[in-house]
Amino acid sequence: MFDSPEDARSTTIKRLTFLLLAAVSLAVLGLRYRLKSAPAIHIKTLAATTFKSRATQPDSDFARHVEELRKKLPSAEFTIVIQPPFVVVGDESEAVVKAHSEHTVKWAVDRLKQDYFAKDPKEILDIWLFKDSASYERNALALFGEKPTTPYGYYSSSHKALIMNISTGGGTLVHEIVHPFVEANFPDCPPWLNEGLGSLYEQSGEVNGHIHGYTNWRLPGLQAAIKAGKVPSFKDLMSLGSRAFYDDDKGTNYGQSRYLCYYLQQRGLLVRYYREFVNHQKDDPSGYKTLVRLLAVRDMTAFKRRWEKFVLGLQQGYDVTVR
């Protein structure tokens, strides 16, 4: 049958190559079939595998975490999707929960890490997406023993969870995703920057491959406060501790922080500012000195007047570049 031993060897190699290719094709088809026919409550193994090299936690930790999470689910309606470094769990349809995981959670995580955050949160955090306010309020109480103080959603560091009323939109979800990343990468971050970045990205999209915040509903309140002369100096805002920032807020802290971040973004300085602030935090815990240096201004009162004029000229839905 064979003219020479070389021919026989080459034919054997060809046959082995063919068998190998056939085996690989069958394995790929098998995997696709398994993914397609996955049940409603399932572990999205593909996402975990894709992220294996980048996720802090190994796949086995996610698998174990999901097993524990299954025992806590309030009903069979919930879908679980592994979206490192988070696990997303929601009571909308499976397709909708997957879409939120992919188009909101993964989208924001990838872009925030690209510009700001080298480290994932230390532990696996759950993102609970409740389909309406009734589910949100009922389940926050049942699962975490607390009644939400906001209709939109919040991050609970102690429960290692983001607890969201997803019917109010994905903006708050992106805002809350910022917080555990700040906690992991900049533990002493003052509240103004933590909330400035969170609220900047609650209305965001992509510009030149980077996450970009747009003007939003916090603008009119800030404009009114500027007109009324009620916005404090940046030095005061930036040196506020948690209690003063959150509990004694006259209603301008979030807006002023957001639109300072927005101004820096529009001047192309925000990412640089963040990085320099992180590097100089020991000498400058509020970030004020880094801000003055980066803006290259001598008179911060004059700068505040310029910033106020800039904010008063903004409109919701329009993006203004500062040169």
Which residues lie near Zn ion (CB under 5 A)? Answer: 195, 198
Task: For residue 204, list its beta bridge partners.
Answer: 213
Q: Tell me the closest approach of the beta carbon of residue 45 to Zn ion, in angstroms.
A: 32
Query: Residue 259, Cβ neighbours under 10 Å: how many?
Result: 30
Cβ proximity to Zn ion: between 66 and 197 the closer is: 197
Cβ proximity to Zn ion: between 243 and 282 the closer is: 243
Of residues 253, 248, 151, the one with CA closest to residue 198: 253
Query: Residue 195, Cβ neighbours under 10 Å: how many?
Result: 25
Cβ proximity to Zn ion: between 62 and 274 the closer is: 274
CB burial class (10 A; 0-12, 13-18, 19+) of residue 236? middle
Cβ proximity to Zn ion: between 85 and 198 the closer is: 198
Q: Tell me the closest approach of the beta carbon of residue 309 to Zn ion, in angstroms.
A: 27
Q: Tell me the closest approach of the beta carbon of residue 190 to Zn ion, in angstroms.
A: 13
- Measured between alpha carbons, how far is 299 from 307 in angstroms, rounded to an integer? 12
Torsion angle of the four alpha carbons 283, 289, 293, 297, in this order, in degrees rounded to the nearest 10: -160
Cβ proximity to Zn ion: between 92 and 195 the closer is: 195
Q: Tell me the closest approach of the beta carbon of residue 19 to Zn ion, in angstroms.
A: 57
- Measured between alpha carbons, how far is 252 from 249 in angstroms, rounded to an integer? 7
Q: Tell me the closest approach of the beta carbon of residue 208 to Zn ion, in angstroms.
A: 26
Cβ proximity to Zn ion: between 74 and 169 the closer is: 169
Query: CA quadruple 190, 249, 197, 225: dihedral positive or negative?
Result: negative
Query: CA quadruple 319, 297, 300, 191: dihedral positive or negative?
Result: positive
Q: Tell me the closest approach of the beta carbon of residue 151 to Zn ion, in angstroms.
A: 14
Using CB atoms, what's the residue nearest to Zn ion? 198
Six token digits for residue 300: 């911060």
Q: Tell me the closest approach of the beta carbon of residue 251 to Zn ion, in angstroms.
A: 15
Q: Tell me the closest approach of the beta carbon of residue 212 to Zn ion, in angstroms.
A: 19
Cβ proximity to Zn ion: between 90 and 198 the closer is: 198
Cβ proximity to Zn ion: between 91 and 195 the closer is: 195
- Measured between alpha carbons, how far is 269 from 264 in angstroms, rounded to an integer? 5
- Measured between alpha carbons, how far is 191 from 288 in angstroms, rounded to an integer? 13
Angle at 279 between CA 303 and CA 122, to 5 degrees: 120
Cβ proximity to Zn ion: between 90 and 196 the closer is: 196
Contact in structure between 111 and 206 (CB atoms under 8 Å): yes
Q: Tell me the closest approach of the beta carbon of residue 227 to Zn ion, in angstroms.
A: 26
For 271-312, the three-class secondary structure string (H helix, E strand, C coil) is HHHHHHHHHCCCCCCCCHHHHHHHHCCCCHHHHHHHHHHHHH
